[in-house]
Amino acid sequence: MNAVPGPRGWPLLGSLPDLTRDSPGFWMDLATRYGTVAVFRSGVETCHLVSDPALVGSLFQHDTQCCYKGRHTQRLASLLGEGLALLNGPPWRQRRQLLQPAFGRRPVSRWLDIVTAAWESQVPVWDEAAAHGQPVEMVTDLLRLTQEIIVHILFGRSVQHQVTAPILGAVDTLNRHLLRHLLREMVLGGRLNRWPLPSTRRFQTALATLHATLDGLIAGRNEGDQDEEALVAFLSNARDERTDARLTPAQIRDELIHFFLAGQETTAVALAWVIHYLTTQPTWAEEVASEADQMLSGRFPTIGDLSRLALTHRVINESLRLTPPAYGIGRRTSIAVELGGWRIPAESVVIVSPYVMHRHPDYWDSPTRFDPHRFSPSHPQPPRPRYTYFPFGGGPRRCLGRHLAMMEMLAITAQLARRYRFHRVPGPRVVPRGGMTLRPHPGVRVRLSLR
């Protein structure tokens, strides 16, 4: 078997400078230059980028047998606790089985009224900006909106702002420091993270606040009236069918933290990209608005309405194709793996990138063009292999919250397009920038006007 091709990179750092500057761009370049499997160094780590749909599929299919969430995620687990997204092996399987029932397409529909309420509390802010012709920063506003949604899904409809404010502040700090933490793990084996640097201290303080507030909330659950549809209630009542075991309060707390981290920014960023495309391509905005007018007769969408918003669905799919918030998915091989004639040794990092595969010129015509028709059943393009499109990942670890995310995105996109026109605000070109998610940089500033 031949040695996997790839760039030499810098002494000690390898390709870390390229990765920190523009990881999605660096991976695109690797796939173009080296093909289906490329190797690069990131500090002390040897990493393989896999960019072929059949190989991506085979990795996903055998995910939990040949790969695991590796050392860096384990270190994260020691900081953040072991939520589903960081568990491996049988503990992951048991936890996934336990949580799955709350996240099916039908069960998540019980939270649509929370999405409606969050929308209604945001509308006056946007109406006011529209009335005064003031630009709004959609990333910031949508982060606030999805934050409100997730808080009420987790803790119930009636939870008060003064209870959740410290949680939201702390989650914000964690979100801002996580990537730096992860990158430091790759250089000098994470020693930097054990120094008492100001950023590490802020991270630790935020985590301590989060633990204290969430522990209080979980312990106080039995007092007063409780929303039994809140996720915290589901987690407290969930039992393993075979062993009858329940989650401990600490496990519940850690899952709640992970739901914040996995579900809030991803959805807000995905929505911000949709608004970016609707602003830069107003004919699509008109089509989405007209579909919403026809289907919704002036009301907020019901669950039944959502499945009929076919064009809005395609617009969202196309936005997730061009700019998938989760742009890279990483694992560590637990055994040596043979992939397409290349040998990947045990304990290597393997990366598959939705961003790279969604723009792969072998599978997508004019890959950088925004064209929702690609997702129309009548589109003439021949069927594409399965793993050319996977914004929510694939295999057994596919996103647990994907039905919830799609419900939020469909309802909010349709409502936004029906109520407002989006106008460009002069400024620098908006480009994808890889952090914990693929954010629009420098943001999505638009002027809204009421339709």
Residue nearest to ligand HEM (CB): 401
Q: Does 375 bind ligand HEM (CB under 6 A)?
A: no
Q: Would you say 30 and 7 are in contact if contact means Cβ atoms under 8 Å apart?
A: yes
Q: Which residue's CB is nearer to ligand HEM, number 53 or number 401? A: 401
Q: Does 417 bind ligand HEM (CB under 6 A)?
A: no
Q: Would you say 152 and 159 are in contact if contact means Cβ atoms under 8 Å apart?
A: yes
One of 130, 170, 270, 436 touching ligand HEM (CB under 6 A): 270
One of 40, 234, 259, 364 touching ligand HEM (CB under 6 A): 259
Nearest to residue 387, comparing CAs of 379, 398, 378? 398
Token duo for residue 171: 């989650």
Q: How many residues sit close enough to ligand HEM to count as binding (CB under 6 A)?
A: 21
Report the C-alpha gap between 317 and 373 in whole angstroms.
10
333 — phi, psi (to 5°)?
-75, 135
CB atoms within 10 A of CB 409: 24
Q: Which residue's CB is nearer to ligand HEM, number 13 or number 159? A: 159
Q: Does 102 bind ligand HEM (CB under 6 A)?
A: no
Give the torsion sign (CA, 414, 417, 418, 419).
positive
**3-class secondary-structure state, position 390:** coil
Q: Does 357 bind ligand HEM (CB under 6 A)?
A: no
Whether the upstream peptide bond of residue 196 has omega within 30° of 0, thus cis, is no
Token duo for residue 219: 């312990």
Q: Does 151 bind ligand HEM (CB under 6 A)?
A: no
381-410 footprint of ligand HEM as x/- string (CB under 6 A): ----------xxx---x-xxx--xx-----
Minimum CB separation of residue 171 from ligand HEM in Å reads: 13
CB atoms within 10 A of CB 225: 7
Report the C-alpha gap between 143 and 420 in whole angstroms.
19
Residues sharing a CB contact under 8 Å with residue 350, sequence separation 6 or more, in sequence order: 47, 48, 50, 59, 67, 330, 331, 332, 333, 337, 344
Q: Which residue's CB is nearer to ligand HEM, number 43 or number 391? A: 391
Give the torsion sign (CA, 3, 187, 75, 167).
negative
Strand positions, DSSP E, 295-380: 329-333, 337-339, 342-344, 349-352
CB atoms within 10 A of CB 124: 9
One of 62, 71, 96, 419 touching ligand HEM (CB under 6 A): 96
One of 6, 263, 301, 432 touching ligand HEM (CB under 6 A): 263
Residues sharing a CB contact under 8 Å with residue 241, sequence separation 6 or more, in sequence order: 97
Minimum CB separation of residue 266 from ligand HEM in Å reads: 4
Q: Does 412 bind ligand HEM (CB under 6 A)?
A: no
Report the C-alpha gap between 168 and 256 in whole angstroms.
12
Kindly state the greatest CA–CA separation across the chain. 66
Report the C-alpha gap between 164 and 91 in whole angstroms.
30
Minimum CB separation of residue 401 from ligand HEM in Å reads: 2
Q: Which residue's CB is nearer to ligand HEM, number 266 or number 279? A: 266
Minimum CB separation of residue 262 from ligand HEM in Å reads: 4
Report the C-alpha gap between 139 and 371 in whole angstroms.
22
Q: Does 70 bind ligand HEM (CB under 6 A)?
A: no
Minimum CB separation of residue 398 from ligand HEM in Å reads: 6
End-to-end CA distance of the chain: 62
Q: Which residue's CB is nearer to ligand HEM, number 263 or number 372? A: 263
Could you give the angle at the alpha carbon of 216 between the alpha carbons of 212 and 221, nearest 5°? 155
Q: Does 111 bind ligand HEM (CB under 6 A)?
A: no
Q: Does 31 bind ligand HEM (CB under 6 A)?
A: no
One of 4, 16, 19, 85 touching ligand HEM (CB under 6 A): 85
Q: Which residue's CB is nearer to ligand HEM, number 369 or number 398? A: 398
Q: Which residue's CB is nearer to ligand HEM, number 285 or number 400? A: 400
Minimum CB separation of residue 406 from ligand HEM in Å reads: 8
Q: Which residue's CB is nearer to ligand HEM, number 130 or number 238? A: 238
Minimum CB separation of residue 399 from ligand HEM in Å reads: 3
198-206, 217-225, 243-251, 256-264 -> range binding ligand HEM (CB under 6 A):
256-264
294-333 footprint of ligand HEM as x/- string (CB under 6 A): -------------------------------xx--x----
Q: Does 47 bind ligand HEM (CB under 6 A)?
A: no
Contacts with ligand HEM, residue ranges (CB under 6 A): 84-85, 96, 259, 262-263, 266-267, 270, 325-326, 329, 391-393, 397, 399-401, 404-405
